Amino acid sequence: MLKFPIYADYNATTPVDKLVLEAMLPYFTQHFGNAASRGHIMGLDADEAIINARKQVANLIGATDKEIIFTSGATESINLALKGVFSLYRTKGNHIITVQTAHKAMLESCEFIEKMGGEVTYLPVDKNGLVSPAVVEAAMKPTTILVALLHANNETGVIQPLREISKVVHRHGAIVFSDAAQAIGKIKIQVDDDGIDLMAISAHKIYGPKGVGALYIRRKNPRVTLAPQIHGGGHERGLRSGTQNVPGIVGLGHAAMLCGAEMKEESLRLAALRARLEKGLLEIPRTFINGKVAERLTHVTNICFEGIDSGTVLNGFNRKIAISTGSACSSALPSPSHVLQAMGLTAQEASASFRFSLGRFSTEEEVDYIVEQVQLHVGMYRAQNPAWDETKGKIIKDAAMIEK
């Protein structure tokens, strides 16, 4: 039996898995010690829990536990990585390369670095949202110190060819940063094989709690060092001062462990669910998938329904379906998606698009209901919109001209 609202916005956040919550609970009331208080058993218990979580996160990405720094989330990890590299490597160079479809946390960090005297190149993407190794190669300079990319896009699920790009970047002696907030736990990531030197991780994207994340920092070949952005106390090897969030860190570690164990099977299940969803939605006329040709995360699809306003249609669902018109980081902003427009969509097409992201608790019954409701409400909007009649007439006329 369906329970409302039906949730299909797993890229925005995920519910905490009950197993993760069970692992966290003792560290709120029973093992509540400060991990920095190693002079007594309560502090030692908390420190041991953090050590274990560090290993769990490291195991998921093929790193060592000493390469994991805990933060408050991916946004902080991104800020620490980009600003930390820029601050410490300025004697070598001041040039950073990123991509136009990056998350706002990355774009705004780059804008801040520009104000501090840095130079940033924002690479364009093709119609599928991809940046090629050749485009990265052409943008490299002797002063380039960092190339920062989304591992998988938060709006379309498009996966960048990071392994090939990293070879280009390393050939020029620069550092590779991956914002893996959406990719971690969904696809296999091995930092050595993929050539990743820095990587941002978020707990709440993988069924862990909000307010905790991690930053992977390579320790050798090459050894990457960062300038701290938060000072005071020397926690997390001096890179992120502040009393450690022991329950949250335990939750992140347990969530990482569960994702590692279930990733392959879950990916196949979600791929089948997405195929079912796309099949039903593409039955609607004048509909197309954004980034369809590219390799994508199996649980995400971003679809344009020509001639609609996605915000208006979303309101029509009467809170029974939770889907997104863009990324959660910028959905409160009135402007159309910068990601979709960078891929070549018009402002109107971007405003006519929905992101559907499925997850661990999604079912076939839920998918079928989403398809039914989207078909209904898109049809209703178009029927009531005179502009759609004009568009439809133009389509028929153009088709007739082609036939002649």
Tell me the pLDDT band of 294, cut-offs 50, 70 and 90: confident
Asked if the model's pLDDT at residue 328 lies above 60, the reply is no
Q: What is the pLDDT of residue 332?
A: 53
Burial category of 401 from C-beta neighbours within 10 Å (exposed 0-12, middle 13-18, buried 19 and up) = exposed
Asked if the model's pLDDT at residue 8 lies above 60, the reply is yes
Q: What is the pLDDT of residue 293?
A: 86
The torsion angles phi and psi of 91, rounded to 5 degrees, stand at -70, -25
Asked if the model's pLDDT at residue 387 lies above 80, the reply is no
The C-alpha angle with vertex 180 and arms to 178 and 292, in degrees rounded to 5, equals 100
d(CA 277, CA 17): 24
Same fold, 6-12+263-403 and 18-258: no
Asked if the model's pLDDT at residue 11 lies above 50, the reply is yes
- List residues with catalytic annotation: 329
Fold of 6-12+263-403: Aspartate Aminotransferase, domain 1 (3.90.1150)
Tell me the pLDDT band of 69, cut-offs 50, 70 and 90: very high
pLDDT in tens, 96-153: 999 999 999 999 999 999 999 999 999 999 999 999 999 999 999 999 999 999 999 9
Asked if the model's pLDDT at residue 1 lies above 90, the reply is no
Domain boundaries, the chain: 6-12+263-403, 18-258
Tell me the pLDDT band of 359, cut-offs 50, 70 and 90: very high
Asked if the model's pLDDT at residue 395 lies above 80, the reply is no
Q: What is the pLDDT of residue 13?
A: 98
pTM of the model: 0.93
Please name the residue that has the structure tokens 């007739």: 400
Instruction: Tell me what the mean pLDDT of segment 156-161 comes to.
Output: 97
Q: What is the pLDDT of residue 401?
A: 42
Q: What class does CATH assign to 18-258?
A: alpha beta
Instruction: Tell me what the mean pLDDT of segment 355-360 comes to.
Output: 98
Asked if the model's pLDDT at residue 402 lies above 50, the reply is no
Asked if the model's pLDDT at residue 364 lies above 70, the reply is yes
Of the listed ranges 203-212, 282-291, 394-403, the one predicted with least confidence: 394-403
CB 306 within 8 A of CB 141: no
d(CA 302, CA 341): 13
Tell me the pLDDT band of 403, cut-offs 50, 70 and 90: very low
Q: What is the pLDDT of residue 333?
A: 54
d(CA 91, CA 158): 35
Q: What is the pLDDT of residue 162?
A: 97
Tell me the pLDDT band of 396, cut-offs 50, 70 and 90: very low
Tell me the pLDDT band of 157, cut-offs 50, 70 and 90: very high
d(CA 123, CA 342): 10
Q: What amino acid is encoded at 128 in this protein? A: N
* pLDDT over 90 percentage in the chain: 89
The overall average pLDDT reported for the chain is: 93
Helices (H), ranges, 100-215:
104-115, 133-139, 162-171, 191-194
